[in-house]
Structure 1
């Protein structure tokens, strides 16, 4: 039976045990969210031994070389000693700059890192509270223009981080975990091509950054943005989107609710087969968007998607 060691504890586990489950069963508080290797909240570093990693490509070469692994994607096959990601030791310190409601259920969190953070529009970070609660969120801010890192938190359902965020005040300490690329970005080579941005809920956050990045780089093709919200009150960026569309004739912003979605999708037509589509939101919504775009004639390799996986467990 393999022996697992962490935090000064040692115990045996069944061969092939999921590392995240084994650690938590052994009383080690490892945060997690998606269990799919996407959020990176469950980072651990191997100090001795090597687990069976089902998704080695999820981490960059430098991280892997330093022993980091995603606990949710690993199985214990031999004796293994790990240390859990410690936000106080391994994270970037930051402070809350501003917190406030954009809609009845969307909380805007603006954060000042204590050291400069190089990022691009569309990326995402794991945020840590002072008490060690972690959750990944997409960046809505525009690098080089916004003086803060901005996140849009969906607070419709209870959640450890969103519940804690409601109590945050300016000046409160946070820690920033790993910055991840994500699929969503703006490529200058797209300047002449039509863009189709489709978001559900707070999937709008990274696309808001990407849209402004495209305009900052003088994108010349038409841009169509569709935001699907639970109801009209949840179009939390309606005013800035309307203003942006008024200032840029190439931008079209459509704010819809679920009852309107079938008609909008049925009437969807491609401006050009050179269109690039960026999709973000709940997996079911993203798949609905992608399926309609495919039926309209857009190849799958011209669709970039980031899904917001619900917390598991």
Structure 2
């Protein structure tokens, strides 16, 4: 049986055991969320030995050369020694510039990084509290216009990070993990094509950034924004979206409550097969959006989706 070493701890594990599962079962605190190699919350550094990596392309070459691996995508095939991601050593420092409630359950967090961060609309970051709680969140800010990094935290349900976030104060320190691309972005080649942005809950955060980027680049096609919320009071960016629609005639905004989703989707009609659709939110909602678009005749390669998974405790 291979040995798995973490600091002074030595664990004996079965051959081909998933690295993340072995660490968690051994009492090693490793944050995780998607288990699909997308969120990058479960980064570990291999200091001796090499696991079998099912998704090497998920990390850039520089990160891999430094020994970083995604624990959820690796299996232990021989003796292995790893270091877990240490936000104090490996993360980038930032301070909370502002935090306020956009609705009873959505907290807007604005961070000021110690060093400027290069990113694009639609990307996401792993955020770390000072106590070592981590979770990936999508950026709602726009690098060309906003001096802060903005995130919209869904605090409707209890979760380790969201529970901690309820007590955040301006000036508090946080750490930033790895910046990820994600599936959501704006492409200048889409400028004259219809653009549909379909979000559930705080899945609106990255799409709000993409919307503003499209307008910044003077998007000429129609932009249809659909936001699904549990109830009317949770359309937390209704005013901001309304202001954008009032000043940009190509923008159409639809606010839908969960009880009305089936009827709203049934009424969706494709005006052009050139439409580009970006979807984000809970997997169930994203699946419902995608299914309706498929039935409406939109080619799958014109649909880009990112899902927000439930909180990991």
User: Which bin holds the TM-score, normalised by the shorter protein?
Assistant: over 0.9
The aligned counterpart of 2:286 is 286
The aligned counterpart of 2:234 is 234
Structure-2 separation of matches of 1:219 and 1:16: 49
How far is the alpha carbon of 1:160 from its aligned partner?
0.5
Q: Mapping of 1:101-180 within 5 angstroms? A: 101-180=101-180
The aligned counterpart of 1:20 is 20
The aligned counterpart of 1:58 is 58
1:157-187: CA deviation from partner (whole Å, max 9, x where unpaired):
1101001111110010000000000010111
The aligned counterpart of 1:264 is 264
Given the two structures, how large is their TM-score scaled by the length of structure 1?
0.98
Structure 2: where are the runs of 5+ without partners? Answer: none
The aligned counterpart of 1:84 is 84
Counterpart secondary structure, 2:89? helix
Alignment: residue pair count: 313
Structure-1 separation of matches of 2:21 and 2:311: 15
Structure-2 separation of matches of 1:242 and 1:74: 46
Q: Are the counterparts in 2 of residues 125 and 139 from structure 1 also a CA contact under 8 Å?
A: yes
The aligned counterpart of 1:246 is 246
Q: Are the counterparts in 1 of residues 204 and 280 from structure 2 also a CA contact under 8 Å?
A: yes
1:43-63: CA deviation from partner (whole Å, max 9, x where unpaired):
001111111112222212221
Structure-2 separation of matches of 1:26 and 1:106: 35
Structure-2 separation of matches of 1:302 and 1:263: 24
Counterpart secondary structure, 1:219? coil
How far is the alpha carbon of 1:25 from its aligned partner?
2.5
- What do you get for the CA RMSD once the two structures are aligned? 1.1
Counterpart secondary structure, 2:253? strand
Q: Are the counterparts in 2 of residues 106 and 155 from structure 1 also a CA contact under 8 Å?
A: yes
1:88-131: CA deviation from partner (whole Å, max 9, x where unpaired):
11111000001111101111111000000000000000000001
1:196-224: CA deviation from partner (whole Å, max 9, x where unpaired):
01000000000000000000000000000
Q: Are the counterparts in 1 of residues 38 and 182 from structure 2 also a CA contact under 8 Å?
A: no
Given the two structures, how large is their TM-score scaled by the length of structure 2?
0.98
Moved more, 144-153 or 31-40: 31-40
Q: Are the counterparts in 2 of residues 124 and 138 from structure 1 also a CA contact under 8 Å?
A: yes
Counterpart secondary structure, 1:255? strand
| 4+ residue runs over 3 A deviation | none
Structure 1: where are the runs of 5+ without partners? Answer: none
The aligned counterpart of 2:255 is 255
1:205-264: CA deviation from partner (whole Å, max 9, x where unpaired):
000000000000000000000000000000000001111101111000000112221222
1:211 equivalent in alignment to 2:207? no
Counterpart secondary structure, 2:269? coil
The aligned counterpart of 1:305 is 305
Counterpart secondary structure, 1:287? helix
Q: Are the counterparts in 2 of residues 34 and 311 from structure 1 also a CA contact under 8 Å?
A: no
Structure-1 separation of matches of 2:77 and 2:45: 16
Q: Are the counterparts in 2 of residues 34 and 312 from structure 1 also a CA contact under 8 Å?
A: no
The aligned counterpart of 1:48 is 48
Q: Are the counterparts in 1 of residues 159 and 312 from structure 2 also a CA contact under 8 Å?
A: no
How far is the alpha carbon of 1:19 from its aligned partner?
1.0
How far is the alpha carbon of 1:312 from its aligned partner?
4.8
